[in-house]
Amino acid sequence: MLELPDKQDNPWAVLSISNSWKTLPPMLWSAQAPEFSPVEDLIDISPMALRLLQLDVQQLRTHVEGVSTLKNLHAGNILLPGMSPLAQKYAGHRHGIFNDRIGDGRSLLLGEVATPLGRMEMYLKGGGRTPYALRGDGYLGLRSAIKEYLVSHALYGIGIPTSLPLSLCNHERKIFRNQLEKSATVISLSPSHARVGHFEWLAARGSAAGMKALIAHLGGCYGEGGDMSVEQFFKHSVQRTAHLAAAWQVWGFVAGTLNTDDISALGVTLDPGSGAFLESCQASLTEDCDAVDSVYAFSSQSESIRFGLEVLGRALRLLLHEEQINAILESFDDQREKAMLCGMRSRLGLMMSRDEDSALINQWLSILHRKGADYNSSFRYLMEWKDDESSDHYLADKLGIERNDRPLGEWLNDYRKRLENECFTYRERYRFMAGVNPITMLRERDICDVSAAVEAGDFIPLARLRKRITQPYHNFLQ
């Protein structure tokens, strides 16, 4: 039997928690308590998530009862007042094939926390099997948990919409993945975990009433309240998803698998543990990020997301005319392109918009791709470029390109001309670019090093890396 903490001095007692998902049709969820699994260590608590919940970071970390409550929550031993855990049911196109047997296989929606920014869902991942686990055991490996914890924080630090982890624990239980390792759990916050797959499931069941109820439920996430129309919902979803797709491309994030049950209906990065940030600009590396084929490779992400929105549109035919759906869908490419151009202009130090910017950006990316240059570091090198020959040589050397390389020379000439349309000095351009080109980007070797340290019982490297990637524009060496 799960016991609720009743001490009023417990810092977690101030949270206002409910679970309005249970007001939706039962076909969208199943009540499910987390499985009890003793916690070995509370590895990390996210200061950003605590601030979002308006909890005092230092107080909670030193509060014995508060730390104990959080560990027991991870262990499945207690629930906070107002929590009512459930597993969500949805469907999805997995690698193009419709599957209606899926849902939250190892995640539980514990409840929704009221915050100044609106309600935030609190999810527990790795808490055991659910009715939708199929052949899975419901557990999360420690290394996978660490990666998801760090990737989420890196996205958050850059400013890309994502679920934000609150805390990470390892457990006494050991499980076998590629090797025998400890199991782990992650508690995360997100405005909603609603997916395209939820609408697919409702459409497959022919439940127009259920779809209306879900849209009304999501209205608060868009600031529209329960009166949001179906057309408004779809417009918001297409717009936010277009901006998310653009942000992934601008900052070089490879999301990994993008099945329709992985795509948020709110334009939020869900389950980011399957993704990674682009390092070398080589087509083979981007394609290798997909475990099956190149359908979800870096260069194909926008097409995969558009397919997800098309599937969402088909589901909404229960409530909208096809002409309305197609008109809204047609805006996706234009919105994504505009958002991507805006982001890439900023990374190149360009404030004003010019017709030739798209060609200038594509030529820059082509140069990086041709030589397999480091994607994000290349923008930092360009930051230091000045309009002289020594700077041309410096940039070529840093990019691993011959100094007399013709495409790079031609591009730099075009870049010089383009900068003439801007009204700032080199120093002003440098400061502007420094605000949008991160110093610290999460790399696979960082995740491997931190994972090895955590497995050895040293949690300090993870906390240090989490601090750096959530403040990626800050130079910690100064």
What angle separates helix 406-419 from helix 389-399, to the nearest 10 degrees?
Answer: 130
* DSSP-derived secondary structure for 155-180: HHHHT--B-EEEEEEEEEEEEESSSE
**Of 44, 104, 261, 262, which one is the catalytic site residue?**
261
Scanning 36-141, the segments in alpha helix (DSSP H) are: 47-52, 57-62, 64-75
Helix (H) or strand (E) holding 397: helix 389-399
261 is catalytic: yes
Q: How far are the Cα atoms of 121, 231, 369 from residue 236, in angstroms, in the given order?
A: 20, 9, 34
Task: Report the distance separating Cα 421 and Cα 24, nearest Å.
Answer: 54
Q: Is 94 left (phi over 0), alpha (psi -120 to 50) or beta?
A: beta
Task: Report the distance separating Cα 117 and Cα 363, nearest Å.
Answer: 40
Q: Answer yes or no: are the C-beta atoms of 261 and 197 closer than 8 Å.
A: yes
State phi, psi for 171 to the nearest 5 degrees. -125, 165
Q: Answer yes or no: are the C-beta atoms of 40 and 184 closer than 8 Å.
A: no
Scanning 181-274, the segments in alpha helix (DSSP H) are: 196-204, 208-218, 230-250
Task: Report the distance separating Cα 477 and Cα 163, nearest Å.
Answer: 29
- Provide the annotated active-site residues: 261
